[in-house]
Amino acid sequence: MLNCLTDIASKTESIMSQLSFSDIEFGAKRKQTRREKFLSEMDQVIPWARLVKLIEPVYPKGKQGRPPYALETMLRIHFMQQWFALSDPAMEESLYDSQSMRQFAGLSLIRTRKTSKPPGVGIVVDFPF
């Protein structure tokens, strides 16, 4: 049974661009929450590409040690932290707990080439804002 579920999960992941089961379940929801609506609106109105271009020259390149998270991901996490008045540990917990927040930040609970797992508290604290 476990092998069957593993096979189905691996086939589903490759077919659906590496979506996790929670991503699939989240997509099938009928009602959109206020948080989801707010994040969707912010995704539309904030000029992410311009902000990334402005900050990129001073963002760490990761020449030594662990490679940094994508600038846009960290910027989106920083904005959510301010909007929802979350401490660093609370932000980390929210990224694991809230599918809408993970989706807004471009994160997933499974690691793929396109997505990263949510950053830990130390990484959120080190973001230069």
pLDDT category of residue 7 using cuts at 50, 70 and 90: very low
Percent of the residues in the chain that have a pLDDT greater than 90, as a whole number: 40
44-60: average pLDDT: 93
Q: What is the DSSP letter of 62?
A: -
82-101: average pLDDT: 92
pTM: predicted TM-score of the whole model, two decimal places: 0.66
70-99: average pLDDT: 93
43-62: average pLDDT: 92
Q: Find, among 12, 13, 44, the residue nearest to 115 by Cα.
A: 13
Going from N- to C-terminal start, the domains of the chain cover 32-59+68-129
DSSP character string of 37-68:
HHHHHHHHHS-HHHHHHHHGGGS----SSSPP
E strands, 51-124, are none
Amino acid 64: pLDDT: 79
Amino acid 96: pLDDT: 87
Model pLDDT for residues 103-124, shown as the tens digit of each residue: 999 887 765 544 455 666 555 5
